[in-house]
Structure 1
Amino acid sequence: MNGRAWEGVRKGITRADAGEVAERVLELDEAGRREVARELPGHIGPARTAQQRLTERRRDWDWQLTQAWIEPMRVAGAGTIGGAAAVASWLFRREFARWSPASDMEPLLKVIAARPAAWQADLAVRLALRLRGSRAQASDDSAALALELLRRTGTVPPDHEPLVAAWVALPPRLPDDPLAAHLLPRMFEAEGVGRALREDRIEPPRWEWEPQQSWLRTLRDLAASGVIDREMLADGCVRRFLRGGNAADLRFFVRLHELLDPAPNPARARDYLRLLPAAPGPVAEAALKQLRGSLVGDDAGEAVSALLFRPESKLVRAGLTWLDRLARDGDGDLDHLAPALASAFLCESYPIQERTVRLAVRHAGRFTPVGAEAVREAATVLPADLLARLSEAYGHVEPEAGLDDGFLPVALPEFKPPVHEPDPFEQWLDKFVRDAPAAGGRRTGLAAVRGAVMAALNRPRSRLDAERTWSSVDLWAEVLMREAAHPGERAEAPREHLPKPRTVAAPYRMMLERCAEILAGLRDGTLPPYLLASPTTAAGQVEAGELVARLEGYERAGAVALPADLQQALLRLPRVVPAEVAERAGRLTSEAGATLVRWLADRPEPRLRVVWRGQRPQVVVHLERTGLDLVDALLGRVASTRLGQSMEDWHRVLPSDREALAMHLLPHVHAAWERPTNFADVVSAMLHLEGPAGEAVGALLAALLGEREWYMPAERAERLLLEAAATGCLPAERCGHHLGLTLRAGQIKSAAVRSSLESCARQGAQREVWEIMTGLLTSYLPTGDERGTTAHTRILAFALDVARWAGAHGAVGVVTQLAERPRSSALVRAARVLDDHLTARKSRQAS
């Protein structure tokens, strides 16, 4: 045909018209089909490119249009390529992958229908065997095409499990589907069917505008009308149960079995009995429904034993009811039921244990000495109150040993104070002030200033950019260098460039203020000969005698103290000052000396609380004003979490005020992007400072213990808690209080808290962990009308372990209140056991 055959088909492909391509293909003779089949592989790339260009020229871009060329190409190949195997490969080439299947398969089916019948059957089987149940299959028409070809050709479906799963994944076409006779029995055997039908329901969800036909409803109705054999379906469900699987994959078959409601069938009784011990709960419930009242003798005993071995309370209760009936209706001893009672004793549900004890006591006279001994041996796992009730009928039973879980007390690990390197910032400031007036512009000791700061200084800046840049200590250092080298060259007003007080953390602002006042003193000619606040210890403190000597030198030189420098020096004083040093300070005559004397006589102490607003703790602080603005800012208020630079150096700003430093660190716990990667080291340094450790330190440690991120793994947070305990600065009860509030806020699971606290207790902090638990229980346990959860019950059980480890005694108010509630829930029982232990009270009888 000299290319005319291909030209006609190519035009149809270019127009993305699968119907036109089908018509052209059906008009071809054998030579024309061979010509088209020969040209098709090489046309994949041009066809895709042409369609993309066509789509790009449209104003209303549509991703579906970019793939419109695929279906005409598939149709052309299905009608012209010779072998069925080659066509099967062509239809699902990787280049033909789409986001969704074609909206109309008729052109494809039309050209396939023109091929010989044996060829069509061969293609149908090949397409069916290609199914794999993959994600890609969900976005193509492979399943629908294979099933439709099998129906139209009348071909027997191959034995292929993904084919069965694909069949049930589509809406049912029963009873007219010719495939049903072959595939319906297989749906109970093929893997993937339960997964495909997990969400199938009798009634469609309310949100479905056009609900699909339900397989459950279809099979139920057809079984009710006799079109499908009900017994065949019931047998299929039981066979599927016996094959095993998880509850989700068996959900459809459990629902179908319930809808069929098969009559008791002795032929299936043994199969149902096999399901009781280990099948998923819903399957076991379905089996129990079929067996209840139909078993006698050994089979009934086997069923009871299986039920009492289950973990589900509902099934265990059913087993106990059955056991009670067997005991009442039977003759002779009940020794054969002792193992079943032992299984029920192991149930974690207290009501189940209590019911089992009542049943055992009721029938105690029916056990021989051998059977009674078996009951006593099994009962050692029971709670103390239930054990006492059982002992009245069976004789004294010793509780199970090993309640301390093998706990061995050890000493707390030792923690050495961190090795502090000399503070480069302080060294730089001290050297600059001492050398700048006499240096004539020499940049002594300033080589560490970054080159990037120079660029930032020289470029034009907007007001916002300037505010950010002037929050850099490096920039202030560069400005100081410029001023020393070229006095008066630039006329920036230092304090105008300082960031606003609440936009930067107070410890860092102190560093900026000191730079600003040094710059002002350099310009005004009032720079003192040296600084008062230069640390004398690596930890950042200034020895009191050294500060007095420095002020004495100021008075001899007629120098005036810089305000920020003086206030920083006061904050760096140790909390204990020798009497002779205080006496020397009293002889100072300058205003700075008088300020020092007042500080030594009445060092300011902030009073703070940490309150929870929403899901985050916030600090509320009260401080009697001192008239020292920077001191008042550092000890009396907390800035926003913005701009927390140089956090690693904050401990040098507040080396004698541990609680105040914790107050400034706390907001950054919940803003991880604002804190350094070595934040744990910052907290560790804080623990070795002077000053009280109270609410803020406790809240900070609790917040870190509640984190579960890569930058604060549980082991690191636990290490900080142990370090606080070892250094004697762990406010344990307040830490527990905030840990309980963290749990209430849902920021961490109680299991994670228990794990971390147990780890600390086993490393020597059992007493501290018990103190933490007293605070945690008080803030976490339900009060008033609040309802308890299993998490509360488990926390109480853990608290009992910790109390034993720590040898703790003395009532905890919230626990006692729970224990006195009239109801006997699992939570109340756990509270009673803990309260009894703490108050040395004999075990109460369950209400």
Structure 2
Amino acid sequence: MNTLLDAVREGRMDDIRPLLSRLDRGGRKAVLDELKVLRKEARGWRWGERTRARKAILVAGAGCHTGAAGCATWLGGRDMRDWVHSPYPWVLEVLGDREPDWLADLARRLAARAVESDAEYCLVEELARRAGCPLPVSDGMVLAWAERVNSSRWQAGSEKPLVDVLRADTRLDVLVPHLLTMPELPSVVAWVDSNSPANSWPAALTALVAEGLLDRAALLDACTARLLRGGKPTDLRFCLLVVRGLGPTSEEEAARVADWMAMAADGPSPVAGHAQEVLARLDAQGALSVRQLAEVSGAVLFRTEKKLVRAQLIQLGKVLRRNPSAAEKLLPVIADAFGHPDTDAQERALKLAARALPAATPEVREETARMASLLAPVHREAARAVFGDLLEDEPEAAYEEVLPPPPALRPLGPPPGSVAELTEEVTAALLSPDAEDITAFERALDGLVRYARTDREELVAALEPALAGQWWATAPKGEVEWRMSRNHYGLHIVVASLLGRVSRQSVHDGQAHPTGRGRCCHDALNGILYARLWEAAAEVRSGRLPYLLATPTWHTGTIDAGDLVERLRGYQALGLRAGPVDFAQALLRVRRTDAKEAAQEASALGTKEGDRLAAWLLADEPLAAVIPRHVDTDVEIGRDWLRQTVIKARRVLLTTRDNPLVRQSFPQPFQWLGSAHSPRNQNCYCWIAESPQWTATLPEDGETLAAWLLPSVAACVQEERGTAWLLPALAETGGPAAGAIHLALAYGLGARHAEDRLAAVDALLVLAARGRLDTALLGGELDVLLEQDSVKPNRLADSARTAAGTGAYGTVLSVLAPVLPALLAREKAPRGLSDLLAVAAECAEHSGPPTTGPVPGLAETAARGGTTQLVRQAIRLEAACRVAAG
């Protein structure tokens, strides 16, 4: 046994099998116990020694296991699988004396584990061959096989046809069926090169079906089932290509009519479109009943995709021409389209209803006439011509704008009532995914300072076991101090200081380290937070303060002026001086509107902090005034590192004036905030420009914050995703909402990605609900951005449609009214203008014409004639304004 263990330690692979053959069952068990110890020991060795030994450990351990289950667990261990050169040939050697059933069991167990490499695939394949059993199939096996097939296509520098590689594989009938049942297809399988589609997997599989090497019915069933189930777009495209390549017969398509109906109703657009085509063919062949057509039509006409709805209405029209008696079942379905958001779809449905109405019973006609109330006002006159006396006159209710209720301020609440409660909150703030939540962070930070003064020993005793799993709880103290001094670890800094995991000198150095000296607002705002944390880290060690001054009153970060005065009064009673960073942050958070009484009370305290607070409240000026003029500047929006080129674009950004008071009387971390800034002198290299703490740092100066963050927000109109995340929070800030906030909102409404546009719509509705939205100002900013092509009309139309869908028709129309004239005046109508006109028309139909009067250029566009969407929607908007005005 000792000789075998020496061979394993030295990595002598060729000696292992002879030495194993001399051991009986008991000897192998004893060696296995030693190998388990050696396996753990080897984890701490140097890389070269560890790799040699681990290969030998793997081989010897496989030979020592007498059960297939234990052997599979041994071979499949994560730390025993990262090989540059595979040790599996030696594994097969030491297993050469096992019975076929044993080898088959091992192959099945290994295949069921995560097979992640060609070497592991070959091991299972060879085990199955020796056992004389079918190749066990699993997701990992199929993925490895697909990668192997893809690699084998390239030989001698040339690409071999995929169908030839697959044709030579004798296990296609086992692997391909499983391939189509995987949760996600391997990327090498699903990807189709548009330059050579004939050499793709879909084309190869359909060719092999034609040759009889794959079962046609099984492949068609698997692809149809996957289309029905849904999945990634690339996977669905793969299955669509296979289905189209197989060219199902009429009988095969008719046998799956329920599947096509389900796809048309609920599938993604490409899948639904194909299902529509199939159902249209079946209908033409008489294989689709009127009942089935009515059922699928009701679902498709409920979809938002105009192309699908239009195609379904065309199909219904063909059926009605061929079979007028079908009107009895189809007319109620057609009437459902009267409520479709697309007015063109409504018009088509109304024309179909007019054609089918004579063949329907009186009951169906009356029901259809009642549904006509869903039609847009532009179709009301046509509806009256179709339904006549059946159409009931309904008095129009007075329009009432629907806006969400203004967000309610949520108080932070009283501090934790016990050490146990604080421990729970601190642990949650450190460990939960929402560790950046403002409320949780501020309550935990203030609670640590409070209980470090009153119940320090109990707090330490409670936190130590609760946070024993944190990296800084077990790492060497020097490493903890080094890492925390160079990286932002949030609340961890304060807790580590309380528990003695960083020294007093390290805390002192953290306080003395200059922060907020970066060249962008992100560094400046983060620097204020770092300074607060290091100051709190010092305070929890000293136990000097009873509470923090900067703890917000409300969830936005705002402090009521009266609360701050009371806190200063408590400090005065105890003879304490405020922490300079804590007090400066409190000043930035205090609400200054209607605070004269609080200013008088602060001045009456007779303390330095009281006098500063009184002066700050009475000044009631923005931290940094935004200069009310646009600055057009070329800004870098992307870099192609391959070509070493920089993509630049024109941006409308803003500058801010300096504030001498901040630069003279605030601590160093706040100095950046008091200096004048323009986009030209902000060079931002932040990888992650996002923190909810930013709005909580300046909760009463949203306009200033918006001006500084405009370069980041403006990036949302290009490639950047997620940069409009803070717009709803900006809408909740205090102070005036002027040019900066409205310009940031304008960028968000024209963002490239839907989630950013949705955040902008939320901000728009919040501003409107709070009475802070200046629609003329926002429309003017959008007009500028549209003129320089920073915002695309079709993206703005999507945002406007989403906002209007909440019931804010008047608000949306007043924003669009200043935008439309310049777009209508262009020699060539921009893409998306018709969509903007459609949204404006819908708003006018509900809320009445714009309060600013007729839209310049609208009448001329409507008078052009023709049937383009631009002209049709212009006519609709003009008619809506005329009817509402009349």
Q: Same fold (TM over 0.5)?
A: yes
> Hey, what's the Cα distance between the residues in 1 that align with 2:823 and 2:392?
34
1:327, CA displacement in angstroms?
2.0
Q: Name the structure 2 match of 1:646.
A: 662
Partner of 1:150: 128
Q: SS at the partner of 1:784? A: coil
Residue identity matched to 2:62: A
Residue 838 in 1 paired to residue 838 in 2?
A: no
Partner of 2:652: 617
Residue in 1 aligned with 2:149?
A: 171
Deviations 1:51-91 (A, max 9, x none): 33x58xxxxxxxxxx75654343223223332222211111
Query: What secondary structure does 1:811 align onto?
Result: coil
Q: Is the 8 A contact 2:337 2:349 kept in 1?
A: yes
The change in CA–CA distance for 1:401 and 1:230 in structure 2 (over 3 A counts) is: farther
> For residue 259 of structure 1, what is the aligned residue in structure 2?
245
Which residue among 680, 699, 709 is the counterpart of 2:739?
A: 699
Deviation for aligned residue 1:395: 1.9
Radius of gyration: which is bigger? 1
Q: Which residue does 2:266 correspond to in 1?
A: 278
Whole-angstrom CA distance in 2 between matches of 1:758 and 1:665 = 37
SS in 1 for 2:265: coil
Give the aligned residue type for 1:617. V
The answer to whether structure 1 residue 11 and structure 2 residue 5 are counterparts is no
The match for 1:108 is 91
Alignment-mate amino acid for residue 278 of structure 1: D
Q: Partner residue of 2:210?
A: 224
Distance 1:252 1:400, change over 3 A: farther
Q: Does 1:745 align with 2:779?
A: no
- For the structure 1 residues 697 and 245, does the alpha-carbon distance in structure 2 shift closer, same or farther, using more than 3 Å as the test? closer
1:260 Cα deviation after fit:
0.9
Contact 2:703 2:741 in 1 (8 A): no
Say if 1:249 and 1:390 are closer, same or farther in 2 by CA, change over 3 A: same
Q: Percent same amino acid at aligned positions?
A: 24
Moved more, 311-320 or 164-173: 164-173
Matched residues in 2 for 1:782 and 1:270: separation? 51
Alignment counterpart, residue 372 of structure 2, candidates 375, 379, 388 = 379
Amino acid at match of 1:253: C
Q: 1:8 to 1:199 in 2, by over 3 A?
A: closer
Tell me the CA shift for residue 813 of structure 1.
Answer: 1.6
* Rounded Cα–Cα distance in structure 2 between residues aligned with 1:410 and 1:607: 32
In structure 1, the partner of 2:388 is 395
Between 1:344-353 and 1:745-754, the stretch displaced more is 745-754
Tell me which amino acid in the other structure corresponds to 2:662.
Answer: S
How far apart are residue 272 of structure 1 and its match?
A: 4.3
Gaps of 5+ in 2: 151-164, 408-507, 519-591, 595-618, 620-625, 635-649, 667-673, 706-735, 749-755
Counterpart in 2 of 1:357? Answer: 350
Pairwise CA RMSD: 5.8
**Residue correspondence of structure 1 range 54-93 to structure 2 within 5 A:** 54=48, 67=51, 69-93=53-77
Tell me the secondary structure at the aligned position of residue 250 of structure 2. coil
Residue of structure 2 equivalent to 1:407: 401
Shift of 1:124: 0.9
Which position in structure 2 is the counterpart of 1:788?
832
Structure 1 residue 246, shift from structure 2 partner: 6.7
- What residue is the counterpart of 1:681 in the other structure? 700
Residues 331 and 368 of structure 2 are in contact (CA less than 8 Å); yes or no, is this contact kept in structure 1? Answer: yes
- Amino acid in structure 2 at the alignment position of 1:73: I
1:303 aligns with 2:288: no
Offset at residue 93 of structure 1 (A)? 2.4
Q: In the aligned structure 1, how far is the partner of 2:771 from the partner of 2:323?
A: 65
| Secondary structure at 1:200 match in 2 | helix
Aligned partners of 2:140, 2:386: CA distance in 1, in Å? 60
DSSP-derived class of the 1:372 partner: helix
Q: Aligned in 2, Cα 1:771/1:667: closer, same or farther, shift over 3 Å?
A: farther
C-alpha contact (below 8 Å) 1:272/1:291 kept by paired residues: no
Cα distance change on mapping 1:309 and 1:80 into 2, 3 Å: same
Q: Which residue of 2 aligns with 1:425?
A: none
Q: Distance in 1 between matches of 2:53 and 2:396?
A: 74
How many Å separate the matches in 1 of 2:784 and 2:311?
40
Question: How big is the shift at 1:261?
Answer: 0.9
Equivalent residue in structure 2 for 1:44, among 31, 36, 39? 39
Unaligned regions of 5+ residues in structure 1, if any? Answer: 56-65, 132-136, 414-454, 466-537, 541-571, 573-605, 620-637, 651-661, 687-695
Corresponding residue for 2:331? 338
Q: Which amino acid in the other structure matches residue 127 of structure 1?
A: L
CA distance in 1, matches of 2:656, 2:230: 61
Q: 1:45 to 1:409 in 2, by over 3 A?
A: closer
TM-score by length of 1: 0.55
Correspondences of 1:352-751 after superposition (within 5 Å): 352-395=345-388, 397=391, 407=401, 609-610=629-630, 612-614=632-634, 615-617=650-652, 646=662, 679=698, 681-682=700-701, 698-703=738-743, 705=745, 733-741=776-784, 745-746=790-791, 750=796
Rate the CA distance shift 1:268–1:682 in 2: closer, same or farther, 3 A: closer
In structure 2, give the amino acid aligned to 1:255. Answer: L
Instruction: Deviation per CA, 1:687-718: give whole Å up to 9, x if none.
Output: xxxxxxxxx98523413545889xx9998887
- The one-letter amino acid of 1:37's match is L
SS in 1 for 2:266: coil
The C-alpha deviation readout for 1:303-342, integer Å capped at 9, x for no partner, is 3541453124444344333323322222546222202312
Secondary structure of 2:203's aligned partner: helix
Contact 1:269 1:291 in 2 (8 A): no
Give the Cα separation in 1 of the matches to 2:17 and 2:200. 38
Residue 43 (structure 1) shift: 1.9
Q: What is the alpha-carbon distance in structure 2 between the residues aligned to residue 767 and residue 292 of structure 1?
A: 42
Q: What is the Cα deviation at residue 737 of structure 1?
A: 0.6
Higher deviation after alignment, 672-681 or 243-252 = 672-681
Structure 2: how far apart are the matches of 1:82 and 1:718?
69
Q: Is the 8 A contact 2:761 2:802 kept in 1?
A: yes
Q: Equivalents in 2 of 1:50, 1:675: separation in Å?
A: 46
**Structure 2 CA distance for aligned equivalents of residues 200 and 841 of structure 1:** 58
Equivalent pairs counted in the alignment come to: 592
Change (3 A) 1:666 1:44: same
Amino acid at match of 2:266: A
Provide the C-alpha distance between the structure 2 equivalents of 1:203 and 1:834, rounded to a whole number of angstroms: 44
**Separation (CA, whole Å) in 1 of partners of 2:119 and 2:769:** 62
Answer whether contact 1:202 1:216 (CA < 8 A) is retained: no
SS at match of 1:227: coil
Look up the match of 1:120: 103
Q: Output the CA distance in 1 between the equivalents of 2:238 and 2:769.
A: 52
SS of structure 2 residue aligned to 1:813: coil
Q: What residue in structure 2 maps to residue 432 of structure 1?
A: none
Q: CA deviation at 1:45?
A: 4.2
Residues 641-670 of structure 1 show CA distances to partners (whole Å, capped at 9, x for unaligned) of 8x88729999xxxxxxxxxxx997997999
Q: Is the 8 A contact 1:5 1:35 kept in 2?
A: no
8 Å contact from structure 2 (residues 783, 818) kept in 1: yes
Distance 1:698 1:800, change over 3 A: farther
CA distance in 2, matches of 1:72, 1:225: 47
Aligned with residue 219 of structure 2, among 219, 228, 233: 233
Aligned partners of 1:733 and 1:773 also within 8 Å: no
Relative to 1, partners in 2 of residues 1:610 and 1:149: Cα closer, same or farther, differing over 3 Å?
same
SS in 2 for 1:262: coil
Q: Secondary structure at the match of 2:652?
A: strand
Cα deviations across residues 717-742 of structure 1 (Å, max 9, x unaligned)?
877778786xxxx8752343114445
